[in-house]
């Protein structure tokens, strides 16, 4: 009997799933397939299972820290474009049930913006000396690590300093989600707003654009 693909297992249940209090191995989501000084491209082990934008991920050992900035699902073979298959289906899940080969033809990839790394068990809020190697494992952050990294505003500065590499939506998502892990979310948002104002003092329209999106 065929084991049908179900979309339900791929649904994120809200933005609180930015960090996971689970063992390291169970938090491994993919591998680095492209790498440069500023960012990585990763391939997910499972279709549609990329961490949400704005979430913190760790790469390799010792860890390099990055923020998810782009997610895309595309054909595994670029020469085989995706075709619509649901004309007679009642639901999206039925499309996958009627075409069980689809998950084998697609892949989910995501991009991570590098914001720091760990050296001698000390977190450094600047770019690593060399980018992560290809096939480095990528993990979602546990709650403790997410709280530690996001509470250090130097990591926010590191991200904003690469403003040409990251969209307003990603910066705002990072700040919104970081606030959830602080003992005083409102105080964190005020402090983060000051950092954004300092780093983007010469780009008032962009500063306003980000601040409008930063709400808990």
Residue 59: pLDDT band by 50, 70, 90 thresholds? very high
Q: Tell me, what's the pLDDT at 195?
A: 94
Q: Tell me, what's the pLDDT at 161?
A: 87
Neighbours of 60 (CB within 10 A): 18
pLDDT by residue (tens digit) across 72-100? 999 999 898 999 999 999 999 999 999 99
Mean pLDDT rounded to a whole number for the chain: 88
Using the CB atoms, write b or e for 141-175: b if 16+ within 10 Å: bbeebbbebbeebebbbbbbebeeebebebbbbbb
Mean pLDDT of 187-199: 94
Q: Tell me, what's the pLDDT at 21?
A: 58
Q: Tell me, what's the pLDDT at 19?
A: 53
Whole-angstrom distance, CA of residue 166 vs CA of residue 170: 7
Whole-angstrom distance, CA of residue 216 vs CA of residue 211: 12
Residue 105 is given by DSSP the state H
- % of the chain at pLDDT higher than 70: 89
Cα distance from N-terminal residue to C-terminal residue, the chain: 46
pLDDT at 5 over 50: no
pLDDT by residue (tens digit) across 113-171? 999 999 999 999 999 999 999 999 999 998 888 999 999 999 999 999 887 889 999 99
Q: Is the peptide bond before 62 cis (omega within 30 degrees of 0)?
A: yes
What residues does each domain of the chain span?
13-213
Q: Tell me, what's the pLDDT at 25?
A: 76
- If one compares 178 and 216, the residue with the highest pLDDT of the two is 178
3-state percent breakdown (helix, strand, coil) of the chain, nearest 5: 35, 25, 40
Q: Tell me, what's the pLDDT at 36?
A: 97
pLDDT at 16 over 60: no
Mean pLDDT of 94-112: 95
Whole-angstrom distance, CA of residue 168 vs CA of residue 210: 5
Contact between 20 and 13 (Cβ < 8 Å): no
Helices (H), the chain: 92-98, 102-105, 143-151, 153-160, 168-179, 185-199, 204-213
pLDDT at 22 over 90: no
Residue 178: CB partners within 8 Å, gap ≥ 6?
A: 146, 150, 151, 156, 188, 192
Taking the mean position of all CA atoms in its chain, how far away is CA 178? 13
Residue 7: pLDDT band by 50, 70, 90 thresholds? low
């Amino acid at each position: 009997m065929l084991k049908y693909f179900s979309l339900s297992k791929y649904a994120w249940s809200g933005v609180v799933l930015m960090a996971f209090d689970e063992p390291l191995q169970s938090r491994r989501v993919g591998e680095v397939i492209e790498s440069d000084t500023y960012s990585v491209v990763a391939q997910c082990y499972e279709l549609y299972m990329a961490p949400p934008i704005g979430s913190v991920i760790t790469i390799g050992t010792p860890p390099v820290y990055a923020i998810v900035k782009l997610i895309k699902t595309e054909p595994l073979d670029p020469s085989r474009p995706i075709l619509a298959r649901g004309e007679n289906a009642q639901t999206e899940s039925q499309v996958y049930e009627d075409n069980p080969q689809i998950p084998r033809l697609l892949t989910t990839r995501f991009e991570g913006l590098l914001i720091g790394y760990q050296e001698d068990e000390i977190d450094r809020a600047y770019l690593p000396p060399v980018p992560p190697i290809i096939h480095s494992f990528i993990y979602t952050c546990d709650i403790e690590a997410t709280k530690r990294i996001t509470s250090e505003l130097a990591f926010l500065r590191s991200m904003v300093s690469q403003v040409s590499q990251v969209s307003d939506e990603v910066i705002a998502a990072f700040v919104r989600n970081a606030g959830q892990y602080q003992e005083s979310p409102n105080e964190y948002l005020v402090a983060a707003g000051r950092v954004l104002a300092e780093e983007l003092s010469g780009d008032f329209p962009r500063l306003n654009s980000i601040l409008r999106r930063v709400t808990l």
